[in-house]
Amino acid sequence: MTSETTLADRPRDSAPTAAPLIELRHASKSYSDASGGPPVTILDDISLEVRDGEMLALLGQSGSGKSTILRLMAGLTEPTKGVVLSNGVPLRGVNRRLSIVFQNFALYPWLTVRENVQLGINRAAAGSGSPAARVEECIDLVGLDGFEKAYPKELSGGMKQRVGIARALVRGPELLCMDEPFSALDVFTAETLRSEVYRLWTGKTAAGVHLPATVKSVLMITHLIDEAVFLADRIVIMGTRPGHIREVVHNPLPHPREYRDPAFQEMVQRLHDIIVSEHLPEPTADEKAALAAGKPSPEPLPAVGIQQVIGLVEVLIDHGGRMDVFALDELTEYDFGHTLSVIKAAEMLGLLDTPKNQVVLTDLGREFQGADINGRKAILNRQLRGLGTFRMLIRMLERVPGRELPADVIQEELVMRLPTQDLEASFRTVVGWGRFAELLGYDPYAGIVYLDEPGAAGRPG
């Protein structure tokens, strides 16, 4: 059952007088099983509307059907049950009032920026002026003026996505859909583009530049809570297995929005609790007291492999257990920053100390170097249990049946607790360290992280 939570009264959230731009009424989507089994339900009983003048976010994990909802709205697939309406009329065929910005850029490498943008022109598109003028206007809008003749191979990831945004806008859509448009970008580039989209939508740019007048609403698909709170007026929280709407939350935060604002953080925490509650049971009174008394504080983990840490220990042993950090760096093929990351990782694990510019093995480091593979695993298992990040994950896993959670839930927790860190790098590090120490297991096919119980056969992978 879908609930809609109003956090504050806003004029924009009043009942619309006109039909929604796009609406799903009790829509479900199933696919036949190739092996002859029963159909697989991807979406179950989705009732959702995109209103005129709003930015709506679909927030959920992989597998919650967010992209399938977008495909239904775009007319790229039909619901198995229910109906899709466009401006109050049943949708037939492709929705010409909608444009999509994809997460993987989807540019033609043999076409220039201008030619890639031109592909988005729809003969029925609204807007004044010639198609060529609209192309130039949209290229300028996304900050690519001067790059019209450049090819995709000459562009950075952020610039490629700007081309994708311009291509989506040039056809003059009523509804601009963005399917995790920043997920393929590095952290800094993603934040730059996110902020630019925010300013275009709110009209807060220095020159008063905003999205074309044809764009009445924006639909954003995301798995990042911060992104949804920063951008959206309403946030649809999706559940999984099959995809369903768990809750619709109004976002009352005034513009401009700031990540560090206590009200912003409160909203983020509320959405986080709703998402995680699907997989984690409500803690008992005793568990709440224990959490309050000693809640683990996750720390950023250097994005290095355990084998690199072991190699560092071996090098130090060969040099008497002590080296100058700069002399150590000269022995590696890493840049100096990565050398420091490996040193930091070994120090976090208690294998060395770093007085001044020296790197010195500890007694535990010498014990580790002299142990066989199983002895090394046992030492690392013990050391990882003392790190806040692993203590947090162990506590999460111990509270659920089977002691396993979807990888997306683990990733969401990492995003929440370590928002400035690269999510993919953090997840790879956690899984890599946990696997080596036989503390965590990871099934990449099912997308499941689990506690590696002693003596258990475990999952594949």
pLDDT tens, N- to C-terminus, the chain (461 residues): 454 443 333 333 444 457 899 999 999 998 876 666 677 888 999 999 999 999 999 998 777 888 899 999 999 999 999 999 999 999 999 998 999 998 888 889 999 999 999 988 854 444 556 788 889 889 888 888 889 999 999 998 889 999 999 999 998 899 999 998 888 787 778 888 888 888 888 875 555 667 788 889 999 998 888 899 999 999 999 887 788 998 999 999 998 888 889 999 899 888 887 876 665 555 555 545 544 555 567 788 888 999 999 999 999 998 899 988 888 888 887 777 788 889 999 999 999 998 877 889 999 999 999 999 999 999 999 999 999 899 989 988 988 888 888 888 888 788 777 776 777 888 999 999 999 999 999 998 888 999 986 544 445 55
Cα–Cα distances (Å) from 285 to 289, 339, 388, 400, 403, in that order, read 6, 45, 22, 16, 21
Q: What is the CATH number of the domain that holds 349?
A: 1.10.10.10
Phi and psi at 325, nearest 5°, equal -60, -35
**Which pair of tokens denotes residue 232?**
């959206």
- The candidate with the shortest Cα–Cα distance to 122, out of 104, 106, 134, 109, is 134
Q: Do you find a cis peptide bond into 355, omega within 30 degrees of 0?
A: no
Whether the model clears a pTM of 0.95, i.e. scores above it, the answer is: no
Residues 213 and 353 in one domain: no
Residues 310 and 354 in one domain: yes
Residues 346 and 231 in one domain: no
Q: Note whether residue 456 is domain-resident.
A: no
Residues 168 and 199 in one domain: yes
Please give the pLDDT value at position 58.
Answer: 94
Please give the pLDDT value at position 61.
Answer: 74
Q: Note whether residue 461 is domain-resident.
A: no
Please give the pLDDT value at position 10.
Answer: 32
The C-alpha angle 52, 56, 57, rounded to 5 degrees, equals: 170
Range of the domain at 350: 306-383
Residues 39 and 142 in one domain: yes
Please give the pLDDT value at position 171.
Answer: 86
Residues 6+ apart with CB under 8 A from 298: 388, 389, 392, 414, 417, 418
What is residue 105's three-state secondary structure? coil
Please give the pLDDT value at position 56.
Answer: 95
> How many domains does the chain contain in total?
3
